[in-house]
């Protein structure tokens, strides 16, 4: 897939249609999916399209707290040099939640003009997508995002607390999955989220109350452009956070913000289209479709290697507990929410794989690269497929995925699949950032350790 940047005409047309515009946020997603970048006055937008803007390549060497990890080799070793960044086509949109007329645009970083920067996760996905051209297939994908609304004030011990209903003034305490009353209580907020999504051209469709107090899910529609789907997921996360803040709430995409409640996942749906636009998973039944089984086998084979991408934080692995619909083995099944790879109900034309492993905290580009890459691996290798699971998967299959941060990163480092599909140079940068963050995290002494061990050992 060719490295694509937006043409200046896009900025000219946008400025003409939005003469009141004051400023534009230029946004570059980093390794964690954190949006870095610059805010420029509106009159500089055309220049940004014509000449790009410059940000240091070390943006992709930052840990979650914004510190440069020098062992990546893209900090001081390069003189912390600037790289050209250019707008991504189709991402220039109004920002309806600001108090003044503003817009935003996603950026992509270049190694040099016309060549994508190797450490950019968006480019990693782009390279994986290139492989499907040889197969004359196009992934059709959709992203589902779970998140929590929380109170803006924490508890005295620093923990988050559930929000107070804007309708009855009571703090949320119970779990009412699919509750329409919960949707009604937060109706104004959810309506504003959907209205802002419409302004920004984001195909957000369904909002449902999830398995815990203050937890919701918003889905994006299926599209045949995996890069764009991830761009939209990044923009939707920013939108949800920003609109929620205007309503007096915080929105968090932490994988496990509450120890005793369900975690938040990022489920990705995928089918494959041939050159005529037909879904190749639709032929026959789900039990005997060869392409579907090859894709499932590839995903089974590569899932353990991909856990370091799908679950990038220490907190990510707190999701993996029994009875919370989080898979702990590379299982598959038809209309079964207890497996990792679910074939949802529906007509043959809509037959697809729902990948249920990634946390909401995953970088969408990297989670998508793992899914698309694993699918391609299965289509191009002769791999066995385990029998489908009927009933409760955890009661039938023992956990076999790496279910802690260290094990997942060690398996990713050993993975020939990851090196082939993501690139060894990229993996070096990614894992150095992850390792440095883990060392910092693991170096802290928590209040729980004091409570347990101060007087007992």
DSSP 123-135: HHHHHHHHHHHHH
Report the C-alpha gap between 372 and 1 in whole angstroms. Answer: 14
CB contact set of 84 (below 8 Å; sequence gap of 6+): 52, 53, 54, 109, 110, 112, 113
Report the C-alpha gap between 212 and 174 in whole angstroms. Answer: 7
Report the C-alpha gap between 79 and 450 in whole angstroms. Answer: 43
Q: Is the pLDDT of residue 179 over 70?
A: no
Q: Is the pLDDT of residue 210 over 80?
A: no
The pLDDT mean for the chain works out to 93
Return the C-alpha torsion angle 24, 30, 35, 41, nearest 10.
Answer: -20
Q: Report the SS3 class of residue 266.
A: strand
Report the C-alpha gap between 310 and 267 in whole angstroms. Answer: 10
pLDDT, one tens digit per residue, over 385-408 is 999 999 999 899 999 999 999 999
Query: Angle formed by the axes of helices 226-246 and 364-379, to 10°?
Result: 150
Share of the chain above pLDDT 90, in %: 84
Closest by CA to 141, choosing from 82, 223, 212, 242, is 223
Share of the chain above pLDDT 70, in %: 97
Question: Any alpha helices (H) in 200-275, and if so which ranges?
Answer: 226-246
Tokens of residue 308, six digits: 């370091």
Report the C-alpha gap between 64 and 69 in whole angstroms. Answer: 11
pLDDT, one tens digit per residue, over 234-290 is 999 999 999 999 999 999 999 999 998 999 999 999 999 999 999 999 998 988 899
pLDDT bracket for residue 1 (50, 70, 90): very low
Domains of the chain: 8-117 (3.10.20.70), 129-441 (3.30.590.10)
What's residue 5's pLDDT?
Answer: 81
Q: Report CA Rg, the chain.
A: 22
pLDDT bracket for residue 176 (50, 70, 90): low
CB contact set of 14 (below 8 Å; sequence gap of 6+): 45, 92, 103
Beta-carbon-side half-sphere exposure of residue 75 (alpha carbons within 13 Å): 13
> Quick check: pTM over 0.85?
yes
Give the residue-averaged pLDDT of 42-47: 97
Pairing of strands 353-355, 266-273: antiparallel
What's residue 353's pLDDT?
Answer: 98
Q: Is the pLDDT of residue 114 over 90?
A: no
Give the residue-averaged pLDDT of 18-41: 97
Report the C-alpha gap between 21 and 307 in whole angstroms. Answer: 43
CB contact set of 169 (below 8 Å; sequence gap of 6+): none
pLDDT bracket for residue 208 (50, 70, 90): confident
Q: Do the beta carbons of residue 28 and residue 106 sit within 8 Å? A: yes
Tokens of residue 96, six digits: 């309806």
């Amino acid at each position: 897939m060719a490295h694509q940047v937006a043409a200046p005409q896009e900025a000219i047309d946008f400025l003409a249609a939005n003469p009141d515009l004051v400023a534009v946020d230029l946004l570059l997603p980093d390794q964690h999916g954190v949006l870095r970048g610059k805010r420029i006055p509106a009159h500089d937008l055309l220049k940004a399209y014509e000449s790009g803007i410059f940000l240091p390549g070390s943006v992709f060497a930052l840990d979650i707290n914004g510190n440069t990890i020098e062992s990546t080799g893209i900090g001081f070793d390069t003189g912390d040099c600037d790289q050209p960044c250019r707008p991504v086509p189709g991402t220039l949109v109004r920002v309806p939640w600001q108090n003044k007329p503003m817009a935003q645009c996603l950026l992509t970083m270049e190694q040099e003009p016309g060549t994508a920067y190797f450490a950019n996760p968006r480019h990693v996905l782009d390279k994986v997508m290139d492989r499907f051209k040889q197969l004359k297939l196009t992934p059709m994908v959709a992203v589902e995002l779970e998140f929590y609304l929380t109170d803006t004030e924490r508890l005295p011990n620093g923990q988050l607390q559930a929000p107070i209903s804007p309708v009855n003034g009571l703090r949320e305490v119970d779990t009412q999955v699919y509750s329409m009353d919960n949707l009604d209580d937060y109706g104004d907020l959810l309506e504003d989220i959907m209205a802002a999504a419409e302004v920004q051209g984001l195909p957000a469709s369904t909002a449902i109350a999830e398995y815990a107090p203050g937890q919701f899910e918003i889905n994006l529609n299926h599209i045949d452009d995996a890069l764009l789907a991830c761009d939209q997921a990044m923009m939707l996360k920013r939108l949800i956070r920003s609109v929620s803040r205007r309503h007096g709430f915080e929105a968090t995409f932490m994988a496990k913000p509450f120890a005793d409640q369900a975690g938040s996942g990022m489920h990705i749906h995928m089918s494959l289209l041939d050159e005529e636009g037909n879904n190749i998973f639709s032929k026959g039944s789900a039990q005997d479709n060869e392409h579907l089984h090859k894709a499932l086998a590839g995903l089974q084979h590569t899932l353990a290697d991909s856990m370091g991408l799908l679950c990038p934080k220490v907190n990510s692995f707190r999701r993996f507990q029994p009875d919370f619909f989080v898979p702990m083995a590379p299982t598959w099944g038809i209309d079964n929410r207890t497996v990792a790879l679910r074939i949802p109900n529906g007509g043959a034309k809509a037959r697809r794989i729902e990948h249920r492993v990634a946390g909401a905290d995953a970088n969408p580009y990297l989670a998508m690269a793992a899914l698309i890459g694993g699918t391609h691996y299965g289509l191009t290798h002769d791999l066995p497929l385990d029998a489908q699971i009927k009933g409760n998967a955890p009661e039938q299959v023992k956990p076999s995925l790496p279910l802690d941060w260290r094990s997942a990163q060690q398996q990713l480092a050993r993975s020939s699949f990851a090196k082939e599909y993501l690139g060894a140079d990229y993996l070096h940068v990614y894992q150095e950032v992850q390792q440095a963050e883990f060392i910092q995290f693991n170096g802290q002494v928590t209040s729980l350790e004091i409570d347990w061990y101060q007087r007992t050992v």
